[in-house]
Amino acid sequence: MKNILVPIGTNPDSYFTLQYAVDFAVEFSSTIFLMDVFAVSSKTGGLSNITEKVAKNSKERIKEVIDRVDAKGVEIKIASYNGDIADGLKEIDKELGIDLIIMAPRSNDVKEELYLGYTSGKIIKQTDIPTLIVPKGTTLKPMRNILTAFKSGILKRNRILNPLIALKDKFGATVNLLMVKTPGYTDEDLQINTALMDISSKLTITENPSTYLGVLEHFQSQKPDLLVVFRRKRGFFKKLWEKSTVLKSEFSAPTPVLVLSVKKD
């Protein structure tokens, strides 16, 4: 995980997420790109001058966030983008090659009832980059127990698992699998990718109306340090395909959540 992208918004607590990312980068000798997105309409008069001022203010705000963390020798670079955040992520990924996004569940949205705010939800919904969602105030600790939950064991490419394998190897973690049989499952769904089975220690099969309800049922008994789910068109965060927010009443995790994408493949 060479390049890590950390999107920040106007939330004054952004430095918590950046500090976690720095501690994470220390473990993997990564470079951090701190990303801020701003939007200046092309209809605005004196566009060039205004864009320049907004970009300058954005960089100044980012530098203030950087000054609040202990960088620990990690290289932190600034990546600003004028436009939509999803487009910005794609452009930056194309230019730099981003291996992982680390972000808070809620970036700009401070509504306490939300687990995923609008911006963070949009990132999960529209990007194919592996994303680590880190609750506010979380400090990095060894991930000894990893719970990987899914409703279909089919993975088209083994490389989807690379971030999970890297974490397992780094922390000497135990990976437990939770297969959730949801209504309408097929026999094909029950076929589990060989590479996924090879890195796991235990498989639990349960039946629930949805994947995240299955996770809620088993989360307390397994007490994972990390929850891993897959980003599918109708996967774990199913409601994100209907809207870009997730209520805490729908789902909330006290531990980091790693979202791996299967959409590219």
What does the pLDDT read at residue 244?
A: 53
What does the pLDDT read at residue 89?
A: 85
| In the chain, ranges of CATH 3.40.50.620 domains | 3-103, 145-261
pLDDT in single tens digits along all 265 residues of the chain: 899 999 886 666 788 999 999 999 999 999 999 887 765 555 545 455 655 665 666 677 888 889 999 999 999 998 877 777 778 888 888 989 999 999 888 654 445 454 555 667 677 777 889 999 998 889 999 999 999 999 888 888 899 999 999 999 999 999 999 999 988 888 888 899 999 999 999 999 999 888 878 888 888 888 899 999 988 765 555 554 445 555 554 455 678 999 998 754 4
What does the pLDDT read at residue 227?
A: 93
- Per-residue buried b or exposed e for 35-57, using 16+ beta carbons within 10 Å of the residue's own CB: bbbbebeeeeeeeeeebeebbee
Cα 29 from Cα 43, distance rounded (Å): 43
CA dihedral 151, 157, 158, 161 (to 10 degrees): -60
Q: Could you give phi then psi for residue 46, rounded to 5 degrees? A: 60, 45
Q: What angle, rounded to 10 degrees, do the helices at 47-67 and 14-28 form?
A: 70
User: Angle at CA 219, nearest 5°, toward 227 and 230?
Assistant: 35
Cβ distance 105 to 251 under 8 Å?
Answer: no
What's the sign of the alpha-carbon dihedral 43, 47, 50, 51? positive
CATH architecture type of domain 3-103 = 3-Layer(aba) Sandwich (3.40)
Distance of CA 217 to the CA centre of its chain: 22
What does the pLDDT read at residue 218?
A: 87
* DSSP string for residues in 87-121: HHHHHHHHHH---EEEE-S-SS---TTEEE-HHHH
DSSP one-letter code for 19: H
CATH of 145-261, one of 3.40.47.10, 3.40.50.620, 3.20.20.60, 3.30.499.10: 3.40.50.620
What does the pLDDT read at residue 48?
A: 54
How many CB atoms lie under 10 A from the CB of residue 79? 21
Burial label, 12 (beta-carbon count in 10 A; 0-12, 13-18, 19+): exposed
What does the pLDDT read at residue 242?
A: 47
